[in-house]
Copies of this chain bind each other. A is one copy, B any other.
């Protein structure tokens, strides 16, 4: 293992991270909200630490292998999220414990959007901005992770996308390819954010809220600057803007890139994952709409549709925004939406969950197993679009699902062992593992009432979810550490 090279890279990343402490400090300067000192101190701390890790090892370069790739990805998220917790620990308002600071930072950077803060409207602008920015940076990281890094590492069947990744395909070397891919993806990511902020502003948000929510929308993060989330604005136009950009951000960014290159909307229409993704949103919206009307829960068709569409898209894409307290909806709906968050967004999007393409493949693989029972000697290929799937991908998808279920169960049992009721435990783990954000029961609004031990379990769940289980799990294999 090239430890010094890894320390060099992390040092560099922490140095870059330090710069992200400056915009909140600037916001603090504009709004004179007294939150600036903490961010300046964090800036200096990150800069010094990052630099002192990087500088002594600045010449420790070497071609990275898969093994180092996994370690860097895991450290990328854990180290950056830990340093991101620093200003939160230093602040007076909110006054957060160490555990809570870590929870909020990991929740931000993994774009989970679960919060332990109970009175968000009272926070300084600098903190509000910082939380939104954390999600936006996390979303950036995820796009590169999901489109460029994981396919190369072959995590959870994502080698499926290996050939499709934009950038120089023939080059098998890791670093230059990731850098080139990242550049293209970030242009798209940045453009979408700007468009989203403009749309929010035109729909009626103030400039600060528009920028803040564009960050957490494109990152499918779900943090808001208000306790009532998007519901604060009580504006159907804003709700529609949010829904539109959530769906856009829930699509594979490699597909956006392909559509951009070919300048054709047909690129989307021929993509099987896109079609399923859209169908899921339509079906969930319809079910919610019908049940809300039938149960007499909504007083008009318009508000029923507005509520149904927003909550269906927000929960199933794993954003976790809300315009109404959907946990009080009739019986089945809240849990149905939580289950939909297990599907989540498309692979290569900023959405969480298991990803639409994996669910499609699980379904196709299940049908194949059934067909094999009737035709034991037939050779049946699984096809996604026009591509036949290699056996390795099939194995990896089954494995991903099983590992997902195992991690889910273990985390849930740990929460219950710590004294949390079963229903809350179930939805809290789902909300964190799927990088969704809000759960049901005691964690419908926030995670403040959860005990510290469980908060750490949930932090781990967020990481497992965001790193697609295997990236993190592989580190637990003893042979990973043997050379």
Q: Contact residues of A with B, CB < 8 Å? A: 66-67, 70, 153-155, 331-332, 335-336, 339, 362, 365-374, 376, 391-392, 394-396, 398-403, 405-406, 409, 413, 416-417, 419, 422-423, 426, 470, 473-474, 477, 479-480
Given the known interface contacts A369-B399, A417-B332, the answer about A409 and B67 at a Cβ–Cβ threshold of 8 Å is no
Does A474 contact B405, Cβ atoms closer than 8 Å? Answer: no
Q: Is the interface of A mostly helix, strand, loop or mixed?
A: helix
User: How many identical chains are in the complex?
Assistant: 2
B419 touches A422 (CB 8 A): no
Partner among B370, B426, B474 whose Cβ is within 8 Å of the Cβ of A470: B370
Q: A369-B403, A370-B477, A395-B398 are in contact. List 4 more A-B contacts (CB 8 A).
A: A332-B413, A336-B413, A369-B400, A401-B401
Residues of B close to A477: CB separation below 8 A = 367, 370-371, 374
- Interface pairs (15), CB distance under 8 Å: A153-B373, A154-B373, A331-B416, A331-B417, A331-B419, A332-B413, A335-B413, A366-B403, A369-B470, A371-B477, A371-B479, A372-B392, A374-B477, A401-B401, A405-B405
Query: Inside 8 A of A372's CB, which chain B residues have their CB?
Result: 154, 392, 396
B399 touches A366 (CB 8 A): yes
Q: Are A339 and B373 CB-contacts (below 8 A) given A331-B419, A366-B402? A: no
A426 adjacent to B417 (CB under 8 Å)? no
Chain B residues whose C-beta falls within 8 Å of the C-beta of A473 in the assembled complex: 370
B365 touches A155 (CB 8 A): no
Contacts A370-B473, A374-B67 given; indicate if A402 touches B398 (C-beta within 8 A).
yes
Q: Please, how many angstroms separate the alpha-carbon atoms of A153 and B365 in the complex?
A: 18
A403 and B212 alpha carbons, distance in the complex (Å): 42
Q: A373-B153, A374-B67, A374-B477 are in contact. Are A422 and B335 (CB under 8 A)?
A: yes
